[in-house]
Amino acid sequence: MSRSQPHPSSRKPSAASSSLKDRFTRMPNFPKASSISTSAVSGYSKLATEKWHAYHSHGDITLRSEDGKLFGADSWRLAKSSTVFHDMLEIAGPGTSSSSKKSGKRVPDPPIDMEVSSFVLELFLNLINVSIPLIPAFLPFRQIRELAELCEKFNINSSVQDHISQALQLAGVLEPWDLLLYACTKQRVELARRALEFMGPHGFIKVYPDVCGPEEPPSLRSIPFWSRFCLLSPSWQQELLLKVFQEPEYAVPEDPASAFDGFAKMVFKPWDQVVKDFNPRKQTLIRRLNIGTLIFEGTSTQGVTLERFRSDMDGVADTVFSDMLQIPQPLGNASVSTSKKRKRVDEVSPIDMKVSPIVLEAFLNLVNVSIPIPPYHLAFNEVQHLHSLCETFDIQYNIRHRVNRLLESAGKQDPWDLLAYASSRGDVSLARKALAFMGPDGFVGAGPSISIMGTHTLTKPKPNESLRSKSFSYRLNLLPDSWRRELVSLVFETPSFTADHSMQTRSKHKTTRTSKNKRTLGASTIPQRPFKRMETGTILRSERKGWSGTFEVKINWNTVVEDFNPQTW
């Protein structure tokens, strides 16, 4: 055989394609084909194909899952099912797909990363490749949620979306909290109502044992109640608190360990009504009080002559007024004309303090004397505006110290107002004092509708409404989200319900009667905040009103005050 003739082992077996063995011979620095065993070639072939899906391995488009497995797909099928793929791919028609070519060569385009697991990507291709899409039954909610988010990301057609929505509801029967959180993220109120209907008040509160594998994320029903509750958006949290629970009640225990011990009873509303009325999109948002600012809308400001005001404020070191008013000497001698009417040399407009006349008068009475005496006749909202006014203009320490004591004194009568004011300033220390003043009965209960307020000579006395007269949910919603979560998680921790299946519980009224058929459902042993309060409760079943129930929470208020720290959220 001449050297000009090619070696037999390097000849192509056919004009259409070349074998894998021939490709090895053409690689640089590779041994001759005669020295390669058949087992080595078959081993390389296995390595080259093990990353591909066993079934979805043909197509002109390559998709890759998050674990690295490759999937072949037809571009025309993707474009027909998804508007995103239709705009992204140039499609000539189903007959031009390279999967129909005899050569079987793949287009050397980089794979498209789908960022989902291999199983979810397999479900996705199975849905778009058929005319009647079907989803396997009894899939975990987590996988169906990933499939739904993938279809939403690529804007899959409505027929596939409808089947996924049905699968979500089917999986939500066993995992209603996961369904509720998904509905919250997508703002789908009807789907959220289905989730509430599936869980009932028992599933709303109870913590179930974790049955997931060690490598799988736990279901939401197996984590502490307030941990999963705080995953919802703030508006949904407020809507659930308003619609699920009635106003809490406070009861003093028979043998309290201290004056701050007691029971807080949270009573469920009829669950059928909860499901029907739940609608966070139409929720009437409670307008936050303008706490901690100088603006007091609806009142006129008191006119004060600038001469007296500037002369009083001048010379006070390290204050806002000392920086704002540059005066070498009091205006009483230098800036007043020699006429008997004592007219001003320069006409200037008064400084608008944006507070009520009562607050401004109290402010001037404090700064015009050497020994300031706090005005104890003021209502709490007037005291807090006075406190903000002194802080804004950086008044001397001895005045601010007396106003701080005045604020705490007023907060003893209106601790909820003091707590709301502390939350607007982010003052945790002041908030703990407010909690100590109110106690557990003041936290959940309502006080008198009118707060004590003294009369004033310049204005007609008007009753000043305190937050004590408002409902518990109203007061709670005035606080920031982190403060509200901290208080609720400290006071009302996850209870362990007791389900009563006796005939005596089939009543419209609450009962605590025991029976032989009572069985206790314990809480999960998942680590959470150490239990410093003990809880018990009873679920009731009413024949006419559907599910309802109640649980009691034993409160150690001293622990609540000590542990309160909303900065941890």
Tell me 450's DSSP state: B
Q: Cα separation of 191 and 161, whole Å?
A: 14
252: exposed, middle or buried (Cβ count in 10 Å: 0-12, 13-18, 19+): exposed
Which residues partner with 82 through β-bridges?
Answer: 156
pTM over 0.75: no
* DSSP calls for 53-96: -SSS--SSEEEE-TTS-EEEE-HHHHHHHBHHHHHHS----GGG
The per-residue pLDDT for 551 is 57
Q: How far apart are CA 197 and CA 295, in angstroms?
A: 45
* Run of H or E including 497: strand 497-499
Question: Distance between CA 95 and CA 295 in Å, rounded?
Answer: 73
pLDDT of residue 82: 86
* pLDDT at residue number 229: 86
> Comparing C-alpha atoms, which of 559, 566, 547 is closest to residue 203?
547
Q: What is the DSSP string of 107-160?
A: P-PPPEE--S-HHHHHHHHHHHTSSS----SS--HHHHHHHHHHHHHTTB-HHH
Site of tokens 């110290």: 401
What does the longest C-alpha to C-alpha distance in the chain come to?
Answer: 135
**The amino acid at 338:** T
Residue 338's pLDDT is what?
44
Pairing type for strands 112-113 and 546-556 reads unpaired
Q: Which of 323, 297, 294, 325 is nearest to 309 (CA)?
A: 325
Residues 6+ apart with CB under 8 A from 194: 169, 172, 179
Rounded to whole angstroms, what are the CA distances from 516 to 344, 355, 543? Answer: 91, 65, 21
The C-alpha atoms of residue 268 and residue 204 are separated, in whole angstroms, by 11
Q: How far apart are CA 203 and CA 180, in angstroms?
A: 12
Give Cβ neighbours of residue 310 (< 8 Å, ≥ 6 apart): 325, 327, 331
Block means of pLDDT (10 residues each) for the chain, length 569 residues? 47 44 42 41 44 83 88 86 81 48 53 87 87 81 90 87 89 91 91 92 82 73 84 85 75 62 73 89 41 31 34 46 53 44 53 80 78 78 84 81 85 88 89 87 60 34 64 82 83 53 38 35 35 36 46 72 79
